[in-house]
Structure 1
Amino acid sequence: MENSILGIPTLPAFFSIFLLIYLFAYFVVFRNWGPKHRPEASSCLISLAHGPTAAIMSMYSILHSHKAPTFASPNDTFQNTILEFSIAYFFLDLLHYLFFFPSDVLFILHHLATLYVFTTCRYVVHHGAYAILVLLFLAEITSGCQNVWTLASYRRADSPAAAKLYDFLSPRFYVFYSVFRGFLGPLFMFKLGLFYASGAAEPKIPRWAWVSWMVVILIAIGLSILWVLNLWIDWHRNKVQKKET
């Protein structure tokens, strides 16, 4: 049965909401920003609308499951709603990258892979959302801080306040991100991989599905670790350079 909001299917409803936020950001909030940072900042705003909300909804779903769930449990209505909420966001942000930054292949592939996992879980397999939402929580819990940090980075050259905020947030955000993406994420991925490899998910989650999901998850977590590692290296290098000058 299709979920709906006021009679409107949730997926197009969520997409419309994110689109309105994006357009408001682009034409109102960031209208005076430069041609490069204006669309990037607009993307950050829809990410701010998605990330913390998705994290809260995912945690609520995880903590308030009516039955003791497994990683292969059938998706319930609320879990499907969260998946649709995230599908709407990632699809719009994918369009954003295709239109403004078509050469940013890594982000485009990331969004396509994420959409693959969410859509197959929601519309094809109909099982396994519990595990996907744990991963969504671990990924999006850092989103609010990351987007504020990103917006500050765009303005730090022009605004002393933004530069100060960026410098303040950087090490704290890196620690926050490292804990969730660099430690808890891989730990949960390992636990999930053991469950899938044991065969406990089959036939509810076909092998092609869980294997492909694990490949996407493994690559995503690996890239996240490399990204934050590079940030730590740059931060340390800049700190050393400041001491030397």
Structure 2
Amino acid sequence: MFFAIYLTAHFIFFRNWNPKIRPEAASCLISLAHGTPAVILACRAIISDDTHGFASPNTDFQNSVLEYSIAYFLMDLCHYLIFNPSDVLFIGHHLATLFVFLTCRYVVFHGSYGILILLILAEITSFFQNIWTLASALSANSKVAAQVFDVLSPPFYAVYSIVRGLFGPIFVYKMVEFFLSGAADDVIPSWVWISWIFIVVAAISVSILWISNRWFQLYRERIAVIEKEKKIG
């Protein structure tokens, strides 16, 4: 499905776009097809499970959501390996995410509750981030895209900061607290949950660093505009 969407993006939706940004646009389209639906599906999968917990067995619905995300990340990983092989950060992110999903789905068969909550926190800003990314890619040649980028940046940064900088660390702390208690040792080996925590903490840290850099850049740009207006005035 994601492969079909990717090809459709390349040869139909974005066929008239600059070839240099067309692959990125196609990647954004499959991300849009994954992000919001994944959040909705993950919420339903968690709500429908009465026994949810960090060590609960995966339900069939939860496994399906994991498979849905695995399909997306495999497709987007192929995109990066072909068009952006030097983007080690994103390739590493996708490989690490796939490790978490694959071990949860096919190795331990438990713990999808915590993984799906993290998926929700990661993807809840996906829609705005992809629109922001597309606007950024087009901003140099489109005044409308530049305006969308300028208007969308502050609220997107704010929501992203709250989700990744506040809710994410709080939830990970709860996960660590649970796993350290030993309550999951019978069903989730230590090497699995320790690797999960390491990957999630690294991902959140990189996200915080990324959004911090975006805030600093936005601040510098706004200061530059103010200084320019003062000189003109």
- Where on the TM-score scale, by shorter chain, does this alignment land: which range? over 0.9
Within-5 A mapping of 1:1-245: 17-65=1-49, 67-245=50-228
Letter in structure 1 aligned against 2:65: I
Aligned residue for 2:24, secondary structure, equals helix
1: CA distance between counterparts of 2:179 and 2:31?
30
Alpha-carbon distance, 1:62 to partner: 1.9
Q: How many angstroms apart in 2 are the aligned matches of 1:104 and 1:34?
A: 20
Residue 35 (structure 1) shift: 2.4
Tell me the distance in 2 between the aligned counterparts of 1:186 and 1:210: 16
What is the alpha-carbon root mean square deviation over aligned residues? 0.7
Q: Percent identity?
A: 57
AA at the equivalent of 1:196: F
TM value normalised by structure 2: 0.96
Deviation at 1:31, TM superposition (A): 1.2
Structure 2 Cα separation of the partners of residues 193 and 36 of structure 1: 43
Offset of residue 69 of structure 1:
1.5
Letter in 1 for 2:182: G
1:70, distance to aligned residue in structure 2 (A): 1.3
Secondary structure class of the residue paired with 2:30: helix
Task: Look up the equivalent residue of 2:69 and give its one-letter code.
Answer: S
| In structure 1, distance between residues paired with 2:159 and 2:25 | 22
> Structure 2: 5+ residue runs without aligned partners?
229-233
- In 2, the alpha carbon distance for the partners of 1:53 and 1:106 equals 25
**Structure 1: segments with no counterpart, 5+ residues:** 1-16
Distance 1:38 1:197 in 2: 46
Match of 1:8 in 2: none
Give the letter aligned to residue 29 of structure 1. Answer: F
Q: Aligned pairs, how many?
A: 228
User: What is the distance in 2 between the residues matched to 1:36 and 1:210?
Assistant: 40
